[in-house]
Amino acid sequence: MLAQFLQFTMSGLTVGAVYAIVGLGFTIIYNASGVLNFAQGEFVMIGGMVTVFAVAAGVPLPLAILLAIAVAAIVGVALHRLAIEPAKDASPVVLIIITIGGALVIRGIAQIVFDKQLHKLPGFSGDTPVNFMGASILPQALWVLGGSALIVTLVTLFFAKTMIGKAVLATAANRLAAQLVGVNTSVILAISFALSATIGAIAGILVTPITFTNYEVGTMLALKGFAALVLGGLGSPAGAILGGMVLGLCESLSAGYLSSTYKDAFAFLVMIAVLLVMPSGLLGKPSAERV
Amino acid sequence: MTMNRLWEDDMRFLKSTPVLAGFALAAGFSLAPAMAQDIKIGAVLSVTGPASFLGDPEEKTLKMYVEEINAKGGIKGRKLQLITYDDGGDANKARTFATRLVEEDKVVAMVGGSTTGTTMAMGPVFEDAQIPFISLAGAVVIIEPLKKFVFKTPHTDRMACEKIFEDMKKRGLTKIGMISGTDGFGKSMRDECVKVNARFGIEILAEESYGPRDTDMTPQLTNLKAKAGIQAVVNPGFGQGPAIVTRNFRQLGMTMPLYQSHGVASKQFIELAGEAANGVRLPAAALLVADKLPASDPQKPVAQAYAKKFQDATRQPVSTFGGHAYDGLMILAGAIERGGANPKAIRDEIEKTKGFMGTAGIFTMSPTDHMGLDLTAFKMLEIKAGDWAIAE
């Protein structure tokens, strides 16, 4: 019984960690600019795909990983410079639609630059499962969990301790005031896109050995990450993490204990129930309409 | 009268007289008169999207062989013109493209429909327009109940279930668990397996399912593992799901035999599942093991020739899916050869296809059988050391 519970929980946490990181990526850009970036899943895809193709071309794995992160960051900045910045005076809804367009463009380019096949990476520490109290756990799942925890810690420190991090928060709080005290808000927004792309890419790299990747893996992840975000509370980094974990656990526990046919429906039921009781999500602050 | 109208009138004049042909000839387009007589055939395929591993080799195959037929002078001197659309695996898009093929492109026949979902969406369009439609998708629902203008070339999922259960019976396995994808293919095959299992004395003790884009099936498999008495597991599904199931299966240390379906009969499955794929059994067309067939096998030359041509042209390992497109196109070409390029005549001739040796087996269609394959067309394969082996 315990072994089964552990197996379900590990499965849920691993899947949930990815949702959480995607949700966190959404949050970073949302907090800095008020835009929900629906190209967030594409960063995850770029991370996985660039690593796969670099490794296939003979690049050593650590170098391939750095390359993939760099490519994702550049794409993130380019998305901001080419698509978001020129329309910065448009309403958030328009900007959101622009990001969806950006996602389609990135996906289309990936389809041409790479291919349409599914790809995998070997596990970083092999594919032999470890036995933990009767549950078999892939070493890669530990990489995903550890990597996610590290990302969350670093992002938290970045916002709390560094000047740039504080400048991002200042830009989010009031762009005009931030400009008045000398923050270059345009650079700050570009940085937030780069940061968001970076963590998305890392998630993509960590998870590819377990889930495979292809050019359109981002679509589903953007949806799940967004669900995690809404569940946790829009704009709250801790909320996005919690939301992702809860969503992942809901899926795996309902698949294990209830019925695998209805697991997605169950996850969404939980979401609706939470939002009915707490309309701003688990950790979101109640929002007030500014007039 | 606007400029546009003038232009249109001019065009009408050109079209209505031999002047156009004269112009074209003068300009060096000696093919122009023949163009008008090209036989238009359509193909709506899932070249991108979750079923791209079906649509991609299918499209490549169709283009390759239409080119070959045309290079040899076409069918009775008329060239084939292939019009392809990519539905991305989306049934709604497929239906829109089907309508476009019928109404705008005015094709005489269609080879395509990569998935059961897209095929079922397009079927009524061709049925209404009375244009023959050769589907490349698996499920038995495509041809049962019989539709006058709809045919298919791949083995049905019911045959896959029968082949698997037959093999289990031989190995003395009678109590099984099933884990099925909820996509059209997985769901349909699951339903067929549940209909025929009793006939083979096989009892299904537990059933699980997963979504086509799920990335972790350990919870479902943990339940199958915990269920007492399960001697083997069957996984109807296609795409990434079965590869993940196979890896999770080994991760959990499950040692009973695992059967996959013909839906994953491509090298990509072995690549994705890696080590975990070894020992997996699945029913598939002889095409995958073309080189390993005994020389006496009548299917060997066809399968080998197709495999070689496909691999030389695309530098990709051959899959049975492209083979289904080859079979469909050749059956269609044969029908046009015999009966001419009229949609109804083509339909009648497709139905009379007899003893055609394709990559999937010998096709003999009839007014009650719009697929024309029997169980002997299937081989039971086992994956050994990362390659296919014949398990019979």
Q: Render pLDDT for B291-339 as a digit per residue (tens, 0 to 9).
A: 888 888 888 999 999 999 999 999 888 888 999 999 999 999 999 999 9
**To which H or E segment does residue A130 belong?**
strand A130-132
Q: Is residue B251 less than 8 Å (CB to CB) from chain A?
A: yes
Task: For residue B296, tell me if it sits in a domain.
Answer: no
Same domain? For B238 and B137 the reply is no
What is the predicted pLDDT for the residue at B16?
47
Same domain? For B86 and B166 the reply is no
What is the predicted pLDDT for the residue at B146?
93
pTM (2 decimals)? 0.81
User: Which residues are within 8 A (CB) of A92 and not within 5 positions of it... i.e. 6 or more apart?
Assistant: A34, A35, A36
Q: Is the backbone peptide bond immediately before B145 cis, with ω within 30 degrees of 0?
A: yes
Same domain? For B275 and B386 the reply is yes
Same domain? For B268 and B383 the reply is yes
Same domain? For B52 and B149 the reply is yes
CA gap B285, B287 in Å, rounded: 5
Q: Is residue A129 less than 8 Å (CB to CB) from chain B?
A: yes
CA gap B152, B8 in Å, rounded: 43
Among A8, A115, A116, A247, the strongest candidate for a mutation testing the B interface, having the largest count of B CBs within 10 A, is A116
User: Which residues are within 8 A (CB) of B157 and not within 5 positions of it... i.e. 6 or more apart?
Assistant: B138, B139, B140, B185, B188, B189, B192, B193, B236, B261
Among A119, A131, A136, the strongest candidate for a mutation testing the B interface, having the largest count of B CBs within 10 A, is A136
29-48 of B, contacting A, C-beta below 8 A: 47-48
Quick one: pLDDT band at residue B32, thresholds 50, 70, 90? very low
CA gap A9, A248 in Å, rounded: 9
276-295 of B, contacting A, C-beta below 8 A: none
Same domain? For B175 and B256 the reply is yes
Residue in B251, B253, B268 closest to A138 by CB: B251
What is the predicted pLDDT for the residue at B24?
44
Task: For residue B164, tell me if it sits in a domain.
Answer: yes
The residue segments making up the domain with residue B21 are 3-33
Q: What is the DSSP letter of A85?
A: G
Cα–Cα distance list, A22 to A240, A243, B150, B328 (Å)? 8, 11, 44, 43
Please work out, in degrees rounded to the nearest 5, the angle formed at the alpha carbon of residue B359 by the alpha carbons of B281 and B315.
Answer: 85
Q: Is the pLDDT of residue B5 over 50?
A: no
Question: Which region holds residue B2: left if phi is over 0, alpha if psi is between -120 and 50, else beta?
Answer: beta
CA gap B361, B357 in Å, rounded: 6
CA gap B177, A119 in Å, rounded: 28
Same domain? For B169 and B287 the reply is yes
Residue range B187-233, pLDDT digits in tens: 889 999 999 999 999 999 999 999 888 889 999 999 999 988 999 99
Task: For residue B222, tell me if it sits in a domain.
Answer: yes
What is the predicted pLDDT for the residue at A287?
59
Residue in B48, B222, B251 closest to A129 by CB: B251
Q: Is the pLDDT of residue B18 over 70?
A: no
- Asked if residue B76 lies in contact with residue B144, where contact means CB atoms within 8 angstroms, the answer is no
Residue in A14, A136, A255 closest to B252 by CB: A136
- Please give the radius of gyration of chain B, using alpha carbons only, rounded to the nearest integer: 23
Q: Is residue A117 less than 8 Å (CB to CB) from chain B?
A: yes
Task: Count the residues in chain A.
Answer: 291
Question: Among B313, B295, B363, which Cα is nearest to B334's?
Answer: B363
Across the interface, whether the CB atoms of B208 and A260 are under 8 A apart is answered: yes
Question: Among A201, A217, A271, which Cα is nearest to A243's?
Answer: A271
Residue range B80-95, pLDDT digits in tens: 999 999 999 899 999 9
Name chain B contacts of A216, Cβ cutoff 8 Å.
48-50
CA gap A38, A223 in Å, rounded: 8
Task: For residue B297, tell me if it sits in a domain.
Answer: no
- Please, how many CA atoms are within 13 Å of residue B384, restricted to the half-sphere of its CB? 7
What is the predicted pLDDT for the residue at B378?
86
Which phi and psi angles does B366 have, rounded to 5°? -155, 170
Number of domains in chain B: 3
Sign of CA dihedral B294, B296, B299, B302: positive
What is the predicted pLDDT for the residue at B278?
94
Same domain? For B275 and B217 the reply is yes
Q: By three-state DSSP, how is residue B252 classified? A: coil
Q: What is the CATH number of the domain that holds B108?
A: 3.40.50.2300
Same domain? For B320 and B283 the reply is no
Same domain? For B170 and B242 the reply is yes
Same domain? For B263 and B385 the reply is yes
Q: If chain A, 291 residues long, is cut into consecutive pieces of 10 residues, what is the mean pLDDT of each piece? A: 89 93 92 88 96 95 96 96 88 90 94 87 88 88 94 90 90 87 90 94 94 89 90 88 93 89 83 86 68 51
Most confident of the ranges A231-235, B179-183, B346-350 = B346-350
- Asked if residue A22 lies in contact with residue A40, where contact means CB atoms within 8 angstroms, the answer is yes
Here the tokens at position B381 are 């394969």
What is the predicted pLDDT for the residue at B71?
94
Same domain? For B58 and B168 the reply is no
Across the interface, whether the CB atoms of A264 and B211 are under 8 A apart is answered: yes
Task: For residue B261, tell me if it sits in a domain.
Answer: yes
Task: For residue B10, tell me if it sits in a domain.
Answer: yes
E runs forming strands in chain B: 39-45, 80-86, 109-112, 133-135, 150-152, 175-181, 203-210, 232-235, 258-260, 281-285, 356-357, 362-363, 378-384, 387-390
CA gap A204, A218 in Å, rounded: 9
Residue in A14, A207, A260 closest to B209 by CB: A260
Quick one: pLDDT band at residue B22, thresholds 50, 70, 90? very low
